[in-house]
Structure 1
Amino acid sequence: MRLVNWNIERNDPASPKAASLIAEIGALSPDIICLTEAWEGSLEAFGGYVLAAQGVAWSRQATGERKVVLWSPHPWADIDPMEQAAAFGGSVSACTQIGGRNVRIVGICIPYHMASPLGQVPKARVWEQHERFLEVLMPYLHRWRQDGPVIVMGDFNRRMPRTYGSLRSYEMLEQAFEGYEIATRGKLPGIEAQTVDHVAVVGAVRVTGVAGRSAVSPQGLVRSDHFGVVVDFELRG
Structure 2
Amino acid sequence: MAATTQTSLGAIRIVGVVIPYSFAGVQYGEVKLRPWELHIQYLDALDASVSAEPTRTVLLGDFNQRVPRKHQPSRVFKRLEEVLISRFELATAGALHPLRRQSIDHICVSKDLSPVEVSTIDNERPGGGLISDHFGVRTLVKLAA
Report the CA distance between 1:236 and its aligned residue. Answer: 4.8
Q: Which residue of 2 aligns with 1:190?
A: 98
Q: Distance in 2 between matches of 1:191 and 1:160?
A: 16
Q: 2:15 aligned to 106, 119, 131, which one?
A: 106
Q: Which residue of 2 aligns with 1:93?
A: 2
Q: Distance in 2 between matches of 1:154 and 1:201?
A: 12
> What is the SS of the residue equivalent to 1:207?
strand
Q: Which residue of 1 aligns with 2:44?
A: 135
Q: Which residue of 2 aligns with 1:235?
A: 143
Q: Distance in 1 between matches of 2:89 and 2:45?
A: 20
CA contact 1:156–1:197 (8 Å) conserved in 2: yes
Bigger shift: residues 112-121 or 95-104: 112-121
TM score, norm. by length of structure 2: 0.90
In structure 2, do the counterparts of structure 1 residues 118 and 97 end up closer, same or farther at CA, with 3 Å as the change threshold?
farther
User: Does 1:165 find its partner at 2:72?
Assistant: yes
Report the CA distance between 1:117 and its aligned residue. Answer: 8.1
Q: Which residue of 2 aligns with 1:176?
A: 83
Calculate the aligned-residue CA RMSD, in Å.
1.9
- Output one character per residue of 1:108-161: Cα deviation in whole Å (capped at 9) or x when no partner: 00000000188512321110000000001012223461xx21100000000001
Q: Which residue of 2 aligns with 1:55?
A: none
Q: Distance in 2 between matches of 1:232 and 1:128?
A: 34
AA aligned opposite 1:222: L
User: Does 1:154 find its partner at 2:67?
Assistant: no
Q: Which residue of 2 aligns with 1:209?
A: 117
AA aligned opposite 2:59: V
Identity %: 33
CA contact 2:107–2:138 (8 Å) conserved in 1: no
Structure 1 consecutive aligned stretches of length 4 or more whose deviation exceeds 6 Å? none
User: Does 1:126 find its partner at 2:35?
Assistant: yes
Q: Distance in 2 between matches of 1:109 and 1:117?
A: 17
Bigger shift: residues 157-166 or 199-208: 199-208
- Output one character per residue of 1:12-60: Cα deviation in whole Å (capped at 9) or x when no partner: xxxxxxxxxxxxxxxxxxxxxxxxxxxxxxxxxxxxxxxxxxxxxxxxx
Q: Structure 1, unaligned stretches of length 5 or more?
A: 1-91
Q: Distance in 2 between matches of 1:100 and 1:212?
A: 23
Q: Distance in 2 between matches of 1:167 and 1:227?
A: 25
Q: How many positions carry a matched residue from both structures?
A: 144
Q: 1:115 aligned to 24, 29, 45, which one?
A: 24
> What is the SS of the residue equivalent to 1:130?
helix
